[in-house]
Structure 1
Amino acid sequence: MSLGENIKKFRKENKLTQEGLAKLANLSRSYIADVEKDRYSPSLETLKTIANALGIKVSQLIGEAETVQSGGYVINNEILTEDEKRIVELALKQYREMKELAKKEADK
């Protein structure tokens, strides 16, 4: 999902119009529309302002993976099932083991 699509998704989840988000973020409605259509790339400060107006983190706007307080995981704004979580954890464990082995081989 693009940045603009994420902003639109979170705006709609918050039951806000573009005008409503614009007012909360102290931006113009047309600017919000252009960002949602990926015509403009907002600065980090503007992203922070939009995220604050939506009550979320900037990382959520840009679609970064993050841990959910319930103990689940979110990747690209999708909550993983328990099976998916175990697979990701196993893959990460294997990746770290392989990385450590490669480091030891390089140190020889």
Structure 2
Amino acid sequence: MEFAERLKTLRKQVKLTQTQIAEKLDISQQAYASWERGAKKPTQENLVKIAQVLNVSVDYLVGNSEEKSDELDNIELLFRMNSKGLTEEEKKVFKRELIEFMEERKKLFDEK
């Protein structure tokens, strides 16, 4: 299944309109619609936000896994993709900040 098709299917499964999901992602409905049409692809940051809203792993969202959630959570994925070249101390700080960021984003999404 292509990303655009998977995105649309998942959105419908959680019973959200394009406008509602766009609001949760803090983007325009037109930007979101372009992802569902396959005209554009979201940034890594937006992929993580989408996965959170739809309650699936990023790997599932992009078609790398058929499991909706797996042991490799979004924080670990972001950490692995962005921690190359950091010292061990910088990695500790970065991981802690990622966790704090993701927890804060989750709170904001839960409030909406």
Match of 1:29 in 2: 29
CA distance, structure 1, for counterparts of residue 46 and residue 15 of structure 2: 20
**Would the alpha carbon gap of residues 30 and 62 (structure 1) be closer, same or farther in structure 2, given more than 3 Å must change?**
same
Question: Which structure: greater strand fraction?
Answer: 1
Relative to structure 1, the CA distance from residue 26 to residue 65 in structure 2 (aligned partners, 3 Å threshold; closer, same or farther) is same
Structure 1 or 2: larger helix share?
Answer: 2
Cα deviation code 1:17-62 (max 9, x no counterpart) = 0011111111111111000001001111111111111121111111
2:19 maps to amino acid: E
Unaligned runs of 5+ residues in structure 2 are 70-112
Aligned mates of 1:43, 1:17 — CA distance in 2: 21
Q: How many residues are matched?
A: 69
TM-score by length of 1: 0.58
Structure (1 or 2) with the larger CA radius of gyration = 1
The question of 1:18 aligning with 2:18 is answered yes
1:68, CA displacement in angstroms? 7.3
State TM-score, norm by structure 2.
Answer: 0.56
Structure 2 residue 38 is matched with structure 1 residue 38? yes
Q: State percent identity of aligned pairs.
A: 33
Aligned to 1:57: 57
Over 3 Å counting, the alpha-carbon distance change for 1:67 and 1:56 in structure 2 is closer
Where does structure 1 lack aligned partners over 5 or more consecutive residues? 70-108
Contact persistence 1:51–1:58 (CA under 8 A): yes
